Amino acid sequence: MIVIIDYNMGNIFSVQKRLEKLNQEFIISADPAVIANANRLILPGVGHFAVAMDNLRTSGLIEVLNRAVLIDKVPILGICLGMQLMCAFSEEGDCEGLGWFDAKVVKFKFEDTLRFKVPHTGWNQIHITKKSQLMIDIPEASYFYFVHSYFLKLNEETDQLNFTSHEYNFTSAIEKENIYGVQYHPEKSHDIGLQLLKNFINM
């Protein structure tokens, strides 16, 4: 069973609608017992990093997520903020994250502020940096929908799955063993986004 983790950070409805379109059974839950028994996890999210970590902590979800992901090796897909939470630290609130990736979340700073805006919003291309089940039938340089003000700085380049250019290159997807994260929104990216969600479901 796929569980969409509900930790009061929004964007759950969009993910729900796309899974329904794929005729996929799922549960939306904040119950640690339900999450512990999932065979796929989706961690969506839009909002402030420090608030999100506090919500996970007060809901008692950090321990169950660490066990499910790090010990039981349940596949998990983080989307937007959900991906950023997988990192060690974020400038947004000067807050520690889940620490699954050796990475820091930092705010965009551009030299050409007329052409490049914060937040980075709209359609942009992804470039695939390694072979992955998540990328099956997704062509190189496909367009996905983005909306974010912060991005990842990885210390382990082998963890990068995609990069995207917005004045400069930044990591737009990560993968390590059973852990997947995308900065873009597959649930808002039409057919190509559905393909990515289907790939995750079929792992």
Which residues have a catalytic role annotated? 80, 185, 187
Q: Return the ∠ at Cα 77 (arms to 95 and 141), rounded to 5°.
A: 105
Cα first-last separation, the chain = 13
55 contacts: CB under 8 Å, gap ≥ 6: 7, 8, 9
Q: What is the spatial distance between Cα 178 and Cα 72, in angstroms, rounded to a whole number?
A: 10
Beta-bridge partners for 180 = 77, 175
Q: E-strand spans in 85-200? A: 87-90, 95-96, 101-107, 120-125, 127-128, 143-148, 150-154, 160-166, 168-176, 179-182
